[in-house]
Amino acid sequence: MGSQIQLTSADGHTSFAYLSQPQGAPMGAVVILQEIFGVNSHIRSVADRYAQAGYLAVAPDMFSRAAAQTQLGYLPEDVKEGALLKAKVEALGGLASGDIRAAIEYVKHAGKLGVVGYCWGGLMSWRTACSPVGIHAAVCYYGGGIASQAEIGKTPLVPVMAHFGEQDHLIPMTDVDAIEATHPQVLVHRYASGHGFNCDQRASFNAECAAVAAQRTLAFFEQHLRG
């Protein structure tokens, strides 16, 4: 179902992405933004699930400007390496957003566009929702940093849904409270789970919460991408 493609950003930077095709004509497109572990087998499986739901799904390599095609697991040393790569990409400023834009451009022919991100990707999904890049909806899974001073004052230009775990050791519920208070139009859902509850390769995986969040996300995209 999936294949590797090449993207070209506006500054000429080339990178790889994972593209997953639906059966039949796509009913829209979804850009999947990775955690700090790269476009690994889990992120590819997420893209495949969106393709199974009828969307053309693409997961760009957001590490391409620091260490292209890096794929990590979930051991402590992987977390450390992923955090370092994230810091390197963040230090580049808006170039990462340009790489997301390249993915958007690649799949925009499929119809209306959604973006969904996980952890670091959740923050990037928020940033994308606040930028005039031609998407129609965004979903943020446990996006750390959205409540920071640099981010919370931004205004989403499209409908946004956000998922957070109530036992998340990285994102306090006071941050979620702040997001809800500042942006009442954002659909915020809380789950009896920890950080990374959607990833079935992590110890923090919560199948029940992941299923509910997926159902809500698909209904959200159906409303905004197929309407």
Residues 6 or more apart whose Cβ sits within 8 Å of residue 70: 38, 63, 81, 85
Q: Which of these is catalytic: 42, 163, 183, 195?
A: 195
Q: How long a stretch of residues is the chain? A: 227
| 119 noted as active-site residue | yes
Q: Which of these is catalytic: 48, 119, 163, 209?
A: 119
Q: Which of these is catalytic: 61, 168, 199, 224?
A: 168
Long-range contacts, 7-14 (Cβ 8 Å, 24+): 7/60, 7/99, 7/102, 7/103, 7/106, 8/102, 9/95, 9/98, 9/99, 9/101, 9/102, 10/98, 10/101, 10/102, 11/95, 11/98, 13/64, 13/65, 13/95, 13/98, 13/99
The values of phi and psi at residue 24, to 5°, are: 80, -175
| 189 noted as active-site residue | no
- List residues with catalytic annotation: 119, 168, 195
